[in-house]
Structure 1
Amino acid sequence: MENQILQLTIAVLISSLIAINSYRKKSLDVSGAIAGFFVMTVHLSVNYRFGAMLLAFFFTSSKLTKMGEDRKRSIDADFKAGGQRNWIQVFSNSGIATILAIAFWKLKSSQDICLDSEESYIITSIVGGIIGHYSCSNGDTWSSELGVLSDEQPRLITTFKVVRRGTNGGITKAGLQAAAAAGFVIGLAYVLPGIFTKSCTNDAFLKQLLVLPLSALAGLTGSLIDSLLGATLQFSGFCSVRNKVVSKPGPTVKRISGLSILDNNGVNVASILLTSMLTSFACLYIF
């Protein structure tokens, strides 16, 4: 009980500092900072490795979002300085993992585990889902933020035709490589803290390292799913007045691709859900 109180206290302190600092640096607005505080507190108080994955996603993505801002401003019609995120964006990128973390806590309290489906089928699937979640979120963000800065011309994932930068569903080799690298980083964020928080048998420990290629694949898969949904269910058009790709139809907008069914947050949630499920099943098979 004392350990749980200590872990909760540490979680609240770290989450408060990060939320306040992120608001000051315009990575989050007020609503985003409050939502971020809640999400980070849940992750860190349940399992330090969950918190490590969330923080790896948040810090790396925030850093990349601020790269090449001048170029992104000229392309992105919805550009915000610093990539400032609100509560909707926070929950769309971390809500499913937060629910899974709470489910983990209800079943295992704050105990750490070695991935082993024979020991616990449900827990292994939950942890796999969280790994898949942040691999997808990080993969999509890295792919988008670095892909748009690439000199390579993007191609629409459904037709492979060259499209304007900023088109939903546009992919580049650099973007796909970034997605895999982003997933690998999430795998590292899960595996490395486990060296200090959980003792596994030698065979089990070595098997945990399979999280690294699995998370890299999840990052790539999540990015591809996101691009496919963006190309088909999210509208992209070129505005002749603003001279930019926009996400809503209008009298001065010529359609490029997609239907006005999902917005960017909806695409994120759908791709995260699908990737989490796939990674969860993969963990049950592998571990």
Structure 2
Amino acid sequence: MMEGFLIRSVVSVALSFLIAARAYKHRSLDGSGALAGFLVMAIHIAASYRFGALLLVFFFTSSKLTKVGEEKKRSIDEDFKEGGQRNWVQVLANSAIATILVVLVAKMTGGKERCLDTKESTLITGLIGGIIGHYACCNGDTWSSEIGMLSNAQPRLITTFKTVRKGTNGAVTVEGLLAAAAAGFVIGLTYVIVGLLTVECAHDVIWRQLLVIPVAAAAGLCGSLIDSLLGATLQFSGYCTLRKRVVGKRAPTVVKISGMSILDNNAVNAVSVLATTLLTSVACLYIF
């Protein structure tokens, strides 16, 4: 057991360094983001190959989608960065909660891989479920936003269902919501496939792990909806008549569209992730 943990630790440091360096080179992360990403990634992989896989799938798919349709997104999003470059704040907003849970699971299991099974351990099952929900939410929110901005359909504000301009916080499209569910599905599928290759479970428990896929798909959609609801109510959106685009800060030239100036984008992401993590954790206690 300790030998397996030591091997994962060595693999985690080498692989995390290579991926963080590549992300920095390709401008997916800035310097602070690369450092934070390296630490977070190393912890995830050392704790479990499954946890590392969830993080990597989220990071790579989100980074690729961010770069699709850059010209169109640049005209819509005031915070657009070339290549979707993320800093340490954005990295931790999408990984801090999961990292804490990953460390707790590793400490409780002594580094041993475990299946979702409340008969063996209710607490560990709940914590693992929370990690799955965390990345299903992060992936779902990112896919929803990136694909939603490219949609030809006019988005609707989730609180009133009135059509609003693209880039408005809390605006949703059918394509975006379907993307959120698909993103969660990919997270669940990743967890199951890597788990089958790296974790030994009792025969009856193995097949129950397949339920992670629909659970993660639901978490992806749920997380996106929570994020949109928070964005529409607690995050300010306005239209700047001077810059001719939707902005997130009040100014004399800005006409309010929706929301209050209580949370910024990172705070909205963090709250929606926390809520989805808790909901998925509880759901796993009943399902597994």
Task: Calculate the TM-score normalised by the size of structure 1.
Answer: 0.99
- Does structure 2 conserve the Cα–Cα contact (< 8 Å) formed by 1:28 and 1:84? yes
Residue 31 of structure 2 is aligned to residue 61 of structure 1: no
Q: Deviations over 1:98-153 (max 9, x none)?
A: 00001111101221111111210100000000000000000000000001101011
What is the one-letter code of the residue matched to 1:229?
A: L
Identity %: 63
Q: Deviations over 1:5-27 (max 9, x none)?
A: 22111000000000000001000
Structure 1 residue ranges without an equivalent (≥5) = none
Shift of 1:202: 2.6
Q: How does 1:207-226 map to 2 (within 5 A)?
A: 207-226=208-227
Residue 271 of structure 2 is aligned to residue 270 of structure 1: yes
Partner of 1:198: 199
Distance change (3 Å), C-alpha of 1:51 and 1:64: same
Q: Deviations over 1:142-201 (max 9, x none)?
A: 000001101011000000000000000000000000000000000011110111111222
Q: Distance in 2 between matches of 1:203 and 1:193?
A: 18
Q: Distance in 1 between matches of 2:277 and 2:206?
A: 23
Q: How does 1:76-115 map to 2 (within 5 A)?
A: 76-115=77-116
Partner of 1:125: 126
Shift of 1:266: 0.1
Partner of 2:44: 43
Q: Distance in 1 between matches of 2:211 and 2:8?
A: 28
What is the one-letter code of the residue matched to 1:76?
A: D
Q: Distance in 2 between matches of 1:201 and 1:107?
A: 20
Residue 136 of structure 2 is aligned to residue 135 of structure 1: yes
Shift of 1:216: 0.2
- Does structure 2 conserve the Cα–Cα contact (< 8 Å) formed by 1:169 and 1:230? yes
What is the one-letter code of the residue matched to 1:91?
A: L
- Does structure 2 conserve the Cα–Cα contact (< 8 Å) formed by 1:46 and 1:109? no
Partner of 1:165: 166
- Does structure 2 conserve the Cα–Cα contact (< 8 Å) formed by 1:19 and 1:34? yes
- Does structure 2 conserve the Cα–Cα contact (< 8 Å) formed by 1:236 and 1:245? yes
Q: Distance in 1 between matches of 2:240 and 2:285?
A: 47
- Does structure 2 conserve the Cα–Cα contact (< 8 Å) formed by 1:19 and 1:36? yes
Residue 72 of structure 2 is aligned to residue 71 of structure 1: yes
Q: Secondary structure at the match of 1:209?
A: helix
Partner of 1:183: 184
Partner of 2:242: 241
Q: Secondary structure at the match of 2:94?
A: helix
- Does structure 2 conserve the Cα–Cα contact (< 8 Å) formed by 1:139 and 1:179? yes
Q: Distance in 2 between matches of 1:109 and 1:150?
A: 46
The more displaced of 264-273 and 194-203 is 194-203
Distance change (3 Å), C-alpha of 1:136 and 1:248: same
Q: CA RMSD in A?
A: 0.7
- Does structure 1 conserve the Cα–Cα contact (< 8 Å) formed by 2:234 and 2:263? yes
Moved over 4 A (4+): none
Q: Distance in 1 between matches of 2:34 and 2:136?
A: 22
What is the one-letter code of the residue matched to 1:257?
A: S
What is the one-letter code of the residue matched to 1:9?
A: V
Q: Secondary structure at the match of 1:238?
A: strand
Partner of 1:149: 150
What is the one-letter code of the residue matched to 2:30?
A: D
What is the one-letter code of the residue matched to 1:268?
A: N
Partner of 1:21: 22
Task: Calculate the TM-score normalised by the size of structure 2.
Answer: 0.99
What is the one-letter code of the residue matched to 1:173?
A: V
- Does structure 1 conserve the Cα–Cα contact (< 8 Å) formed by 2:5 and 2:112? no
Q: Distance in 1 between matches of 2:110 and 2:181?
A: 32
Q: Distance in 1 between matches of 2:7 and 2:221?
A: 37
Q: Deviations over 1:222-266 (max 9, x none)?
A: 000000000000000001111110011111100100000000000
What is the one-letter code of the residue matched to 2:157?
A: L
Q: Distance in 1 between matches of 2:254 and 2:16?
A: 42
